[in-house]
Structure 1
Amino acid sequence: MERGNNVDHQQLKPSVVLTGTAKEGSVGPPVGLVDIGVSEGAYLFRIALPGIRRDQSKVKCEMHRDGKVHIQGVITDGTTLKDSNAYQMKVQQLCPPGPFTISFNLPGPVDPRLFSPSFRPDGILEVVVMKYKMHTTPPHT
């Protein structure tokens, strides 16, 4: 492996801030793991949100022009309904119920109007956002 490639990967490693129940979850699949991909015109990021149901968590994703990403949601309580029976969890290895936030920075500025989020069935939030392009006006002749 070339040393230069290793340096590039280290520079892309995001600094992720977790609060709420995402920070408290210490066993089970971790909430808030982030992967970031870069293309010529866009960024792609994927965030692990295991145990979070799209229809109940009200996940919100805010994008700022400087590349700051802020994700909020709520992990539902420990009561599970299945087969018309209510189960109260006695062993809790997934992230505990409650609100959470995840914040990180993309490698560069983005156009916050041009992003496409997708909450996959496997608990991954996948978002593509276009890079911000400075509009230059041609010189007057």
Structure 2
Amino acid sequence: MGVQDYAESKLKPSVVLTGSAKESNGPSIGLIDIGVSQSAFLFRVALPSIKNDQSKLKCELQRDGKVLIQGMITQGIRVVQGLSSECEMGVETFCSPGPFTISFNLPGPVDPRLFSPKFRPDGILEVVVLRTRGTSDPVDA
């Protein structure tokens, strides 16, 4: 395995889903993208049926790069009004209601005090966290 192959494999983390996230019937919850720079990691997590104000969303990072995201999927009915009619929409095609966890590892150690989470209106949790250099980390040229 070459250096490039190793680096690419580290950017495709093993993701563990539990609770409602594991039982999804609709859009996939927990899809993850990770970006790397010399000083930081950026990761984005798809949370399509999550409402920031109702989900009690919590994101924890550990020094070794482990990420734990927890929250609650609430069930509700939304009324959508059109020009001449009203439709009642259930959320049956999304995840089942209840608690969920998503955990994965970033490709290296981080400083958990220095991260910036942002929950976007499109259901994406976007987080930037600063990297820490260990003695075994290669120095980027």
SS of residue paired to 1:55:
coil
In 2: Cα distance, 1:101 partner to 1:116 partner: 20
2:104 aligned with 1:107: no
- Residue identity in the other structure for 1:19: T
SS of residue paired to 1:22:
coil
**Pairwise CA RMSD of aligned residues?**
2.3
- Residue identity in the other structure for 1:59: L
SS of residue paired to 2:43:
strand
| Bigger helix fraction | 1
* 1:1-141 → structure 2 map (5 Å cutoff): 5=4, 8-25=7-24, 27-77=25-75, 79-82=76-79, 89=90, 92-133=92-133
CA shift at 1:93, angstroms?
A: 1.0
In 1: Cα distance, 2:64 partner to 2:3 partner: 26
- Residue identity in the other structure for 1:112: P
In 2: Cα distance, 1:32 partner to 1:93 partner: 16
In 2: Cα distance, 1:44 partner to 1:119 partner: 13
Deviation string, structure 1 residues 103-123 (Cα, Å, up to 9, x no partner): 000000000000000000000
- Residue identity in the other structure for 2:42: L
97-106 vs 5-14, which moves further: 5-14
Q: How many residues align?
A: 128
CA shift at 1:133, angstroms?
A: 3.6
In 1: Cα distance, 2:68 partner to 2:28 partner: 18
- Relative to structure 1, the CA distance from residue 11 to residue 30 in structure 2 (aligned partners, 3 Å threshold; closer, same or farther) is same
Large movers: runs of 4+ above 6 Å = none
Give TM-score, length-normalised by structure 2. Answer: 0.81
SS of residue paired to 1:56:
coil
In 2: Cα distance, 1:11 partner to 1:106 partner: 8
Q: Give the gaps of 5 or more residues in structure 1.
A: 136-141
Q: Give the gaps of 5 or more residues in structure 2.
A: 81-85, 136-141
CA shift at 1:28, angstroms?
A: 1.8
In 1: Cα distance, 2:127 partner to 2:61 partner: 10
SS of residue paired to 2:108:
coil
- Residue identity in the other structure for 1:14: P
